[in-house]
Structure 1
Amino acid sequence: MRRSPALIVPLLALGLAACSNSSDGSEDGASTGAIAVQATDTACEVSAAQAPAGTVEFAVTNSGTKVNEFYVYAEGDRVMGEAENIRPGDTRTVHIELGRSGTYQTACKPGMVGDGIRADFNVTGASAAPGTDDENLKAASGEYQRFVASQADAFLEETTAFVAAVKAGDAEKAKALYPTARSYWERIEPVAESFGDLDPKIDGREDVLEEGMAFTGYHRLEKDLWSTGLQKDSGEVADRLLADVTELVAKAKTVQLNPLQLANGSKALLDEIATGKITGEEERYSHTDLWDFEANFEGSKAAIQALRPFLQQADPALVATIDTRGKALGDLLETYRSGDGFVSYPELAPSDVKKLTEALDAFSEPVATVAGVVAKG
């Protein structure tokens, strides 16, 4: 986790700076096709101020010098969809289901830090719940929901054991449990991040928390275990972690997913790897970043697997490409395995990081197109 408090709608936080909107030619500023977004280091220019209810396509070009992100928020900062890790010069297309009329906000986040650049975005016309007549797409939602439920249950079980070890003062056992417990979180991270400040409470890094927020959760205990030693309040922090995870798991199992959210979520998990795990930033004390890498990768593949019957009919060539590149990434990751886990991140040479980055990028490229295929289904 690298962002400050975010409310990310399944599968798949930003200030008051202005973001300019201009019409694409319609008298009312409504979109008549893909909405172009020009993102720079200081601006976020959206070519249309509104669109009809339904699936809205945004084509986001990063014309700045910093890696950027694009979000669409509903009331209460619920993230309806996002495009992360947009490098300078790149264009990313994202399809977002905005099925209810009302006022939303678009936002760019240059440098992937701070509150970002926002503007109002209006959705007009009759509200439309996302739906599909394709039986394979209908089945995909249920299959992935079962995956989320199983991972959530395991996350709670492993967190319970981790907390018990911390409270018993058994640092070595807690260290052994830490990467395994977190893997269940990382597999369903976009869903797990759906619920207000539970995300930063459980997974917030000290350097990215909102001002005034306490440093708690897994990364606070990671620091205690690997850096400072267990503190007087480590047990209290552990109790709070277990309470937050218990609440999150109950909520995660009630989430209703649609196929477009599965597709976007699959890519979002790969973006998590690119922006936090491959850099070694996420697990800066334990250096267990490759455990997180694998878990994000597995979560991404699980979403694609749920969509597979539909994709095989709609675009078999895309499925073949995803399979080939996914195998290549998985095989490469296996070369860094050590025992039941992975080598410590500092053991990676720059050439290793480069190989992993290139394999990740190769896999991410076809996965990024899945949402467009689903949107047509």
Structure 2
Amino acid sequence: MSAPDAGKGKPSAPSSRLMYLGVAGAAGLVLVAGVAFYVATLKNHHEKAVAAIPVTVTSKACEPNTFSVPAGERTFEISNKSERPVEWEILEGVMVVAERENIAPGFKQTLKVRLAPGDYEVTCGLLSNPRGTLHVTPSEEARAQSAHTTMRNFLGPLSEYKFYLGRQSAAAIRTAKELDDAIKAGDLAKAQALYIAARQPYKRIEPVVYRFSDLQNTIDPVADYFEKRENDPAFLGYHRIERGLFATKSVDGLAPVADRLVADLTTLDERLKAMKMTPDVLIDSSGNFATQLSRDRLPVGENRFVETDLSDLEANLEGIGKIVGLLQPVVKPVNPELAQKIDTAFRSAENEVAKQKSDSGAATQTSNGVDQRKELAAAFANLADALNGLPSAIGIDSNGT
């Protein structure tokens, strides 16, 4: 047997190269495991960072009264520890950034909102209670938000919506003056007929009007948020007139209230004319307002003294529809699926309102039952879900043209 043949029976020692490869492979596995652990840690940290922020509203204040959160999309969990239904608002000056209405005593509700860095005020239950302070700090999350659309895409829609706001605001002033004249003339029947029509222009622009907290609280406030409810001197606006015309059935004492309504609507008109129209006005307003309707107003109704909730809702839907119509040409090129989802949801809500109005035989919701209100709330919740997809679909590149 030759020497080479003799060597075949002995096992060969592993080469240095193979040993290096084995060590490198093991190190790679350790590295992958380390990266996976790090990512999981970051994920857990992120989940904790975006957990709901608890806020308690008592009969006198918010707890905490001052707090800080990073910018971006945040969820607040509001607990009502008072004995009255409350609303909780985030305010930037007099402008409402987001709000949650009709939080029942002993219950919790959540509010999700996109917040830019800055300092905000928060309302704490009754309108007479002191306000809290919310500090929003810069964050990577907010800076990393994607942008898909340039300002040029919005020039036409913003201009047209500004014109629409002006036209409806002027109509609100005109009809309020007609109502004021009827009240001063002592004509109860005419004032009752004019009241229903007078609210329609205001309800059409309510998706934007709700941002003006101070005017909203004098033009169309809910009595529950005042210390003495309907008997509170600060309870003014449409609902105060509604109470006199349809509950008390008298125009006595309503002339000063009607004068104030005309004055406040005139101030609103001036604010709207001076308001800087930005894409966020269109992108956020319709979804926020549809959410507010489905979650806070529709389950309980709004008009307690006259049965006009469906008529008001129809006007609200016209206002939302105006925004939807202006945004569809912007949305379709970047997200046709969302555009179709919004269109379908809007038509469904429109059909549900029309159906219930036809079934009731009048512009009323009071005669409808809990099930009908649930159906309305579900239709508007579906619409809100579709509209709330707009911010991520058509974020703005402010440097684009």
Q: TM-score range by the shorter chain?
A: 0.7 to 0.9
Show the counterpart of 2:91. Answer: 73
Compared CA separation, residues 273 and 224, structure 1 to 2 (3 A): same
> 1:357 deviation in Å?
1.8
Distance 1:326 1:84, change over 3 A: same
1:257–1:353: structure 2 CA closer, same or farther, 3 Å change rule?
A: same
- SS at 2:73 equivalent: strand
Question: Amino acid of the residue matched to residue 73 of structure 1?
Answer: L
Distance 1:120 1:223, change over 3 A: closer
Provide the secondary structure at the position in 1 that maps to 2:277.
coil
Is contact 1:39–1:108 with CA below 8 Å preserved after alignment? no
CA drift at 1:344: 2.1
Q: How does 1:51-200 map to 2 (within 5 A)?
A: 56-60=71-75, 62=77, 71-74=89-92, 76=93, 78-79=95-96, 81-82=97-98, 84=100, 93-98=112-117, 102-105=118-121, 107=122, 118-123=132-137, 133-195=150-212, 197-200=214-217
Q: Deviations over 1:47-80 (max 9, x none)?
A: x9465xxxx4223154869999775433x4543x
Quick one: distance in 1 between partners of 2:240 and 2:87?
Answer: 26
Separation in 2 of the partners of 1:233 and 1:92? 39
The structure that has the greater radius of gyration is 2
Q: Evaluate the alpha carbon distance shift between residue 85 and residue 301 of structure 1 in structure 2; reply closer, same or farther with a 3 A threshold.
A: farther
Match status 1:38 vs 2:53 = yes
Give the structure 1 partner of residue 273 of structure 2: 253
Give, in whole Å, the separation in 2 of the partners of 1:180 and 1:199: 19
Tell me: CA distance 1:222–1:242, structure 2 relative to 1, closer, same or farther (3 Å).
Answer: same
The equivalences for 1:1-377 within 5 A come to 36-39=51-54, 41=56, 49=68, 56-60=71-75, 62=77, 71-74=89-92, 76=93, 78-79=95-96, 81-82=97-98, 84=100, 93-98=112-117, 102-105=118-121, 107=122, 118-123=132-137, 133-195=150-212, 197-209=214-226, 213-275=233-295, 277-337=297-357, 342-375=362-395
Q: Is the 8 A contact 1:193 1:199 kept in 2?
A: yes
**Closer/same/farther in 2, CA of residues 120 and 204 from structure 1, 3 Å limit:** closer
Question: In structure 1, what is the Cα distance between the partners aligned to 2:205 and 2:364?
Answer: 23
Task: Kindly indicate whether the alpha-carbon contact (under 8 Å) linking 1:152 and 1:253 is maintained by their aligned counterparts in 2.
Answer: no
Structure 1 residue identity aligned to 2:113? V
Assess, with a 3 A threshold, how the Cα gap between structure 1 residues 37 and 93 changes in structure 2: closer, same or farther: same
Assess if the C-alpha contact under 8 Å between 1:186 and 1:295 holds in 2. Answer: yes
* CA 273–219 in structure 1, closer or farther in 2 if over 3 Å, else same: same
Higher relative contact order (CA 8 A, sep 6+): 1
Residues paired across the two proteins, number = 331
2:305 maps to amino acid: Y
Change (3 A) 1:344 1:65: same
**Which amino acid in 2 is paired with 1:133?**
T
Q: Secondary structure at the match of 1:222?
A: helix
Q: Secondary structure of the equivalent of 1:104?
A: strand
Deviation at 1:165, TM superposition (A): 1.7
Q: TM-score, normalised by structure 2?
A: 0.69
Residues 109, 116 of structure 1: 8 Å contact kept: yes
Distance change >3 Å, CA 72–CA 280, structure 1 → 2: closer
1:157 CA displacement: 1.4
Question: Shift of the alpha carbon at 1:153?
Answer: 1.1
Residues 103 and 329 of structure 1: is their aligned pair in 2 closer, same or farther, counting only changes over 3 Å?
closer
**TM-aligned CA deviation for residue 334 of structure 1:** 0.8
Letter of the structure 2 residue corresponding to residue 158 of structure 1? T
Normalised to the residue count of structure 1, the TM-score between the two structures is 0.73
Give the conservation status (yes or no) of the 8 Å contact 1:272–1:296. no
Unaligned runs of 5+ in 2: 1-40
Letter in 2 for 1:188: I
Question: Cα distance, 1:330 vs. partner?
Answer: 0.7
Segments of 5+ residues of structure 1 without an aligned counterpart are: 1-24
Shift of 1:338: 5.3
What displacement does 1:375 show?
2.7
Kindly indicate which of the two structures has a greater share of residues assigned to helix: 2
